[in-house]
């Protein structure tokens, strides 16, 4: 009946067989609502959303509910991952109505798109404090039929709230009025220290999200200041994450969040953006400390992502579902009997050892089954017997019904992961990671650009190709992705591509009056409000990602327009940086780069040994230029087979000696007191050992 079968989004196609007469977002739906003079019911979700599936089964697959929707509404289904602009606008309406948000998001609109009522999941039956979906539909129908003036009044108020919410700084003073700032990174870390869970790591109570940006704040502060408290918070959180049930101990990778304080029982969906953010967090933690467990977690993230999320034809899938075989977590949890069946019988020595190692008990953690986990102070790897059992458990798990895969390729999340992978490949010297990063980067550049004009596109599917014009976040992360690939490969074409993406970001998304970047392009869909993504959450906001990427690109190219655009983002959010910088960690890190300046490392000629020295150190404010001369100011007057290290216009003496280069790079950092594994800071010949902190 509905029109979703031809859509590129797997989430929309999941609803193609509903008795609800769904429309995709577009003029056809709004024209139908105007012609019939009925409100629009907007349902926003995503493919791996557990409660989206629940509401779909309870309500959207119910013929009686469908009859009401089809008779009194025009129903529109939106994938929030495909259309973050729509999601952002109507999430502000939901926050104004309910005070909190979530998915599925259920919003009722006038035929012109203005919202007048909103909620999240509505159950099939009335309960204490929560009306059923049928009750809500009846109330909205009555309101529309008999109180249209009230609908108009509510719509006007909600649009005002949306306009204020999507344009204003997160929670600070007036936009565009820079306030005197203390050190935003130090201030943010001090705030995080007050929220830190001293026992289990992380910041705040359950549900607990990994929040890699907050970990990054702590790591950067520890790196530059030597602050032991910062390093302790970051490393305790990383170790707790690595040991917790949120970590897939059989395959690798991380679930979206934990429902408990101990990171024990996750919400089992796996998101590509989490793998991207945690790739960087574990990489930087490992480079700072050489902790082998952090490297184990890092390797697992990359292997899982490149394996299980790989999409035929190229690119990486957006997510894996939490549910399989009709139950959340069924794919991931174990009973002692299931472990025994996979190994040597419930009473066998291997089974007993595996259950003891990963905490599998008869009582279990979830519906009588256990989530594999390790104590945060115990190693992730076991003896040869445990590792053999791990492989056999994985083989047995692969025979279970697998969670659903949302195989749409999102430019934003793919570029985020490829940039992190390129950095990890360079730092660890893992050639296959570097090859994968380049291969994925080439795919994104080839398939997610419009042939007619080279404009970026947001989504790609094997069967439908690329669709949907890209948003600001897609451009920001492509700038980072291409810049990181330039640093990995030394090839000028990647820097040229980064410049092209950055110029498109400035040309089509910049708010020349208010500062920062709009979510949508100047020639994109017209919504009731043009949103601006400012607050960081599970991943960096479009403005935060853009500010960081533009600072690094501006330094590498010498292009003042990129540095100026980054400063305008920082100025826009300066009230928040002054009052609560932990709400905008990505912008705080960009502000820190702009204030302290970047470390410029240029290696001329054919000196891969010098490149290797630079790569094996984590230098958060560093940029690396090598390989093909790139026609930028960094290369002016520099030649020969040697390295140049500069900061803020002041340069060290050029050197062709790897030991001297290592000393120059080490001398400009404060070494935090961190718990390091038994790995020497330098090999016997004086070259840096992989994973040595600097």
Q: Residue 678 contacts by C-beta under 8 Å, 6 or more apart in sequence?
A: none
Closest CA to 477 of 404, 536, 414, 424: 414
Same domain, 116 and 244: no
Domain with 119 in it: what CATH number? 3.40.30.10
| Per-residue exposure over 13-26, b if at least 16 CB sit within 10 Å of its own CB, e if not | bbbeebbbbbbbbe
User: How far is Cα 630 from Cα 95, in angstroms, rounded to an integer?
Assistant: 48
Closest CA to 327 of 424, 232, 245, 403: 403
Residue 170 has what pLDDT? 60
Same domain, 284 and 402: yes
Q: Let me know if residue 129 belongs to a domain.
A: yes
What is the Cβ-side half-sphere exposure of residue 489, based on CA atoms within 13 angstroms? 24
Q: Are 584 and 170 in contact (CB under 8 A)?
A: yes
What is the Cβ-side half-sphere exposure of residue 97, based on CA atoms within 13 angstroms? 22
| Helices assigned H by DSSP within 147-195 | 148-167, 184-195
| Helices assigned H by DSSP within 343-410 | 349-358, 384-397
Residue 503 has what pLDDT? 98
Q: State the sign of the Cα–Cα–Cα–Cα dihedral 260, 261, 263, 264.
A: negative
Closest CA to 242 of 189, 301, 287: 301
Same domain, 128 and 219: no
Mapped onto helix, strand or coil, the DSSP state of residue 599 is strand
Residue 1 has what pLDDT? 54
Q: Are 34 and 392 in contact (CB under 8 A)?
A: no
What is the C-alpha radius of gyration for the chain, rounded to an integer number of angstroms?
A: 26
Same domain, 217 and 121: no
Domain total of the chain: 2
What pTM was computed for the model?
A: 0.91
Same domain, 163 and 196: no
Q: Degrees (nearest 5) of the Cα angle 510, 512, 515? A: 75
Q: Degrees (nearest 5) of the Cα angle 443, 444, 448? A: 115
Same domain, 220 and 359: yes
Same domain, 156 and 238: no
Q: Degrees (nearest 5) of the Cα angle 336, 339, 343? A: 135
99 burial class (0-12, 13-18, 19+ CB within 10 angstroms)?
exposed
Please list the ranges in the chain whose pLDDT falls under 70.
Answer: 1, 167-181, 346, 668-694
Residue 684 has what pLDDT? 31
Residue 685 has what pLDDT? 32
User: How far is Cα 48 from Cα 405, in angstroms, rounded to an integer?
Assistant: 8
Distance of CA 681 to the CA centre of its chain: 32
Residue 171 has what pLDDT? 53
Specify the long-range contacts of residues 498-506, CB closer than 8 Å, at least 24 apart: 498/553, 499/553, 499/557, 499/559, 500/454, 501/456, 501/475, 502/475, 502/549, 502/550, 502/553, 502/562, 504/455, 504/456, 504/475, 505/472, 505/475, 505/476, 505/479, 505/546, 505/565, 506/561, 506/562, 506/565
Question: Residues 403-418: pLDDT tens digits?
Answer: 999 999 999 999 999 9
Same domain, 104 and 208: no
**What residues make up the domain containing 37?**
10-167
Q: Let me know if residue 282 belongs to a domain.
A: yes
User: How far is Cα 234 from Cα 237, in angstroms, rounded to an integer?
Assistant: 5
Region class of 378: left (phi > 0), else alpha (psi between -120 and 50), else beta? beta
Q: Let me know if residue 236 belongs to a domain.
A: yes
Q: Let me know if residue 207 belongs to a domain.
A: yes
| Helices assigned H by DSSP within 15-117 | 27-36, 50-55, 63-72, 84-98
What strands, in cross-sheet order, belong to the sheet with 74-79? 22-24, 74-79, 40-45, 105-109, 115-119
Q: Let me know if residue 58 belongs to a domain.
A: yes
667 burial class (0-12, 13-18, 19+ CB within 10 angstroms)?
exposed
Q: Let me know if residue 646 belongs to a domain.
A: no
Q: Let me know if residue 415 belongs to a domain.
A: no
Same domain, 160 and 224: no
Same domain, 280 and 333: yes
Q: Let me know if residue 321 belongs to a domain.
A: yes
User: How far is Cα 49 from Cα 55, in angstroms, rounded to an integer?
Assistant: 10
Same domain, 138 and 222: no
Same domain, 32 and 98: yes
Final residue of a structural domain among 348, 376, 406? 406
């Amino acid at each position: 009946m509905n029109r979703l079968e031809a859509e590129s989004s797997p989430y929309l196609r999941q609803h193609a067989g509903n008795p609800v007469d769904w429309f995709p977002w577009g003029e056809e739906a709004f024209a139908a609502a105007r012609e019939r003079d009925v409100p629009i019911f907007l349902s926003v979700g995503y493919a791996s959303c557990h409660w989206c599936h629940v509401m779909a089964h309870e309500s959207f697959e119910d013929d009686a509910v469908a009859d009401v929707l089809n008779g009194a509404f025009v129903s529109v289904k939106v994938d929030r991952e495909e259309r973050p602009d729509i999601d952002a606008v109507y999430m502000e309406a939901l926050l104004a109505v309910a005070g909190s948000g979530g998915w599925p998001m259920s919003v009722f609109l006038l035929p012109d798109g203005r919202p007048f009522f909103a909620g999240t999941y509505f159950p099939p039956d009335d309960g204490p404090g929560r009306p059923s979906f049928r009750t809500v539909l009846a109330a909205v129908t009555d309101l529309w039929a008999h109180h249209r003036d009230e609908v108009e009044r509510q719509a006007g108020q909600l649009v005002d709230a949306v306009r204020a919410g999507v344009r204003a700084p997160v929670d600070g003073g007036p936009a565009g009025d820079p306030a005197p700032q203390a050190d935003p990174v130090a201030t943010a870390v001090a705030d995080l220290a007050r929220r830190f869970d001293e026992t289990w790591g992380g910041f705040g109570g359950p549900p607990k999200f990994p929040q890699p940006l907050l970990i990054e704040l702590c790591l950067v502060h520890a790196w530059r200041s030597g602050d032991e408290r910062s390093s302790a918070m970051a490393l305790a959180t990383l170790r707790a994450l690595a040991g917790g049930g949120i970590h897939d101990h059989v395959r690798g990778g991380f679930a979206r969040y934990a429902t408990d304080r101990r990171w024990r029982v996750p919400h089992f969906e796996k998101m590509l953006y989490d793998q991207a953010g945690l790739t960087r967090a574990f990489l930087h933690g490992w480079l700072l400390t050489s902790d082998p467990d952090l490297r184990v977690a890092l390797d697992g993230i990359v292997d899982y992502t490149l394996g299980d999320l790989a999409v035929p034809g190229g690119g990486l899938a957006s997510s894996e579902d939490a549910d399989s075989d009709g139950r959340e977590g069924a794919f991931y949890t174990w009973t002692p009997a299931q472990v025994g069946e996979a190994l040597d019988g419930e009473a066998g020595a291997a089974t007993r050892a595996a259950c003891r190692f990963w905490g599998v008990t008869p009582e279990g953690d979830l519906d009588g089954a256990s989530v594999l986990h390790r104590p945060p102070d115990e190693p992730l790897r076991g003896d040869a017997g445990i590792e053999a059992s791990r492989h056999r458990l994985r083989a047995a798990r692969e025979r279970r019904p697998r969670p659903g895969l949302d195989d749409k390729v999102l430019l934003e999340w793919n570029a985020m992961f490829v940039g992190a992978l390129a950095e990890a490949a360079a730092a660890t010297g893992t050639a296959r990671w570097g090859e994968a990063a380049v291969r994925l980067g080439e795919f994104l550049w080839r398939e997610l650009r419009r042939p007619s004009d080279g404009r970026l596109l947001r989504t790609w599917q094997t069967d439908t190709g690329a669709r949907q014009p890209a948003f600001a976040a897609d451009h920001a992360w492509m700038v980072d992705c291409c810049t990181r690939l330039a640093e990995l490969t030394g090839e000028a074409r990647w820097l040229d591509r980064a410049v092209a993406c950055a110029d498109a970001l400035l040309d089509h998304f910049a708010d020349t009056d208010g500062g920062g970047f709009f979510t949508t392009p100047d020639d994109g869909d017209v919504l009731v409000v043009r949103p601006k993504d400012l607050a960081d959450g599970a991943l960096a906001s479009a403005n935060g990602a853009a500010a960081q990427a533009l600072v690094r690109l501006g330094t590498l190219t010498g292009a003042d327009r990129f540095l100026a655009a980054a400063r305008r983002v920082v100025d826009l959010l300066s009230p928040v940086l002054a009052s609560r910088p932990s709400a905008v960690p990505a912008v705080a890190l960009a502000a820190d780069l702009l204030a302290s300046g970047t470390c410029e490392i240029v290696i001329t000629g054919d000196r891969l040994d010098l490149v290797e020295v630079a790569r094996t150190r984590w230098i958060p404010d560093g940029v690396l230029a090598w390989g093909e001369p790139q026609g930028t100011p960094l290369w002016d007057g520099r030649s020969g087979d040697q390295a140049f290290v500069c900061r803020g216009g002041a340069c060290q003496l050029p050197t062709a000696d790897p030991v001297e280069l290592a000393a120059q790079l080490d001398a400009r950092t404060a070494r935090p007191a961190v718990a390091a594994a038994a790995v020497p800071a330098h090999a016997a010949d004086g070259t840096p050992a992989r994973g040595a902190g600097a």
